[in-house]
Amino acid sequence: MTVLAYRDALGARRILFDPVSGAHADDLRSLLAIVPSARDGALDPLGIDAAWGRTDAPGRTCLRAVHAVPPGMTLVRDHAGESARVRVAPSPPPSSASSSNDLAATLVDATARALAGAVRPIVALGGGLDAALSVLAARRAGASVTQAIHLSLPGTTYDESAGAHALASALGLELHDVAISTGDLANELPRAVALAETPLYNLHPVARAVVARVAKERGHDVLVTGDGADQAARGATERADYVPVVAAMTTGSGVALGSPFLDEAMVALLSTRGDPGKQRLRELAVAWGLPRSLADRPKVPCSAPPLPREAFPDARSLESLATSLGRALSWSADDRANVGIASLAAFAAAFGAI
């Protein structure tokens, strides 16, 4: 048996493969370049339902001919005489994971690895704890993070500007506000889907595509985030429908993703401690100088705005999708379904899937 690739526990690294040829790649475009015929296969309704959050099928994608390695698993090649086949196998964490229980030291070391080689990092700042703690850890790791970027949609509930400004002030960060409209966010959906290489079920991840693009345009090379902290603190057992998406959007925009919470050592430490409220992380932030009023502030629900009707696929595109899937598709009062259909149309257009 030959180990071909290991996928991290939270799924930030994608591994896609063609079970017939055995070809594999870290993204769909690269795999389709190796195996063009995989594009000719039918859409996979189960994989699409998984992308839409309707079911859990971590080994499926939107294309029947393309499989995915689930998070925390390994792609291996078995050899039997002159034949060989690839398959997914369980795997222990890679040797970089640490058994240390020292949260502060593990976080600083993880941050040093995440920001190694960074020249002009910028933090994607919302109103929550995780990105702020990444900044504090970066400074203890010897990295200089002085700039922050925040995306806001004025006039909507999808706006954490007050929290972002409070954190930026407390951390001494220069905050760059990027204000867009709901229409602007919806217009970014096709590009975001092309980067994520999967349909979505709400517009929330699209905000990352905007932030990463703006960061790149302003000359930054690493986007510092708190991605993965919630998932790891809750045991790293949830469906991987956020971290892989925003990771792909970030790196696809030309900036590296710098989150210490994606580091195997941090995931191992947080996921085994049973702290879904992240109380240990909050106490560490306070010890490192973040005001308790900010460290203990509860997460505020911040739902993405609904997809505008004008961003929905036209009748011809809708008919092609419905035929390919064998199910009726139409605009409805269900925003989750509307975003799913619109993003599936964007996926099909980006990858010639219908």
Domains located in the chain, CATH noted: 2-90 (no CATH), 103-295 (3.40.50.620)
Read off the pLDDT of residues 283-306 as tens digits, 9 standing for 90 and up: 999 999 999 999 999 877 778 999
Round to whole Å and give the CA distance between 28 and 311: 25
- Please give the average per-residue pLDDT across 231-247, as a whole number: 93
- Please give the average per-residue pLDDT across 133-156, as a whole number: 96
In the chain, count of helices (H) and strands (E)? 15, 11
312-319's contacts with Cβ under 8 Å and 24+ in sequence apart are 312/338, 312/341, 312/342, 313/341, 313/342, 313/345, 317/345, 317/348, 317/349, 318/345
| Backbone angles phi and psi of 120, in degrees to 5 | -130, 70
pLDDT at position 79 is: 78
Among residues 297, 208, 287, 298, the alpha carbon closest in space to that of 244 is found at 208
Q: Confidence band (pLDDT; 50, 70, 90) for 94?
A: low
- Please give the average per-residue pLDDT across 221-229, as a whole number: 98
- Please give the average per-residue pLDDT across 184-212, as a whole number: 97
- Please give the average per-residue pLDDT across 56-63, as a whole number: 94
- Please give the average per-residue pLDDT across 125-135, as a whole number: 96
Round to whole Å and give the CA distance between 315 and 321: 10
Among residues 185, 130, 160, 149, the alpha carbon closest in space to that of 300 is found at 160
CB 258, CB 217: distance < 8 Å = no
Of the listed ranges 114-123, 138-147, 166-175, 318-327, the least confidently predicted one is 318-327
Q: What's the start-to-end Cα distance of the chain, in Å?
A: 36
CB 49, CB 57: distance < 8 Å = yes
Strands 121-124 vs 222-224: parallel, antiparallel or unpaired: parallel
- Report H helices in 157-218: 161-171, 182-187, 189-196, 206-217
Which pair of tokens denotes residue 116? 């190694």
Q: Confidence band (pLDDT; 50, 70, 90) for 42?
A: confident
Task: Tell me what the pLDDT averaged over the chain comes to.
Answer: 93
CB 201, CB 240: distance < 8 Å = no
- Please give the average per-residue pLDDT across 270-292, as a whole number: 95
CB 236, CB 134: distance < 8 Å = no
Of the listed ranges 90-94, 270-274, 299-303, the least confidently predicted one is 90-94
Q: Confidence band (pLDDT; 50, 70, 90) for 99?
A: low
- Please give the average per-residue pLDDT across 158-166, as a whole number: 93
pLDDT at position 212 is: 98
pLDDT at position 9 is: 93
Read off the pLDDT of residues 183-193 as tens digits, 9 standing for 90 and up: 999 999 999 99
pLDDT at position 300 is: 74
DSSP 8-state assignment for residue 152: E
pLDDT for 83 beyond 70: no
Among residues 63, 46, 53, 64, the alpha carbon closest in space to that of 327 is found at 46
Among residues 50, 48, 70, the alpha carbon closest in space to that of 59 is found at 70
pLDDT at position 129 is: 96
> Who has greater pLDDT, 298 or 4?
4
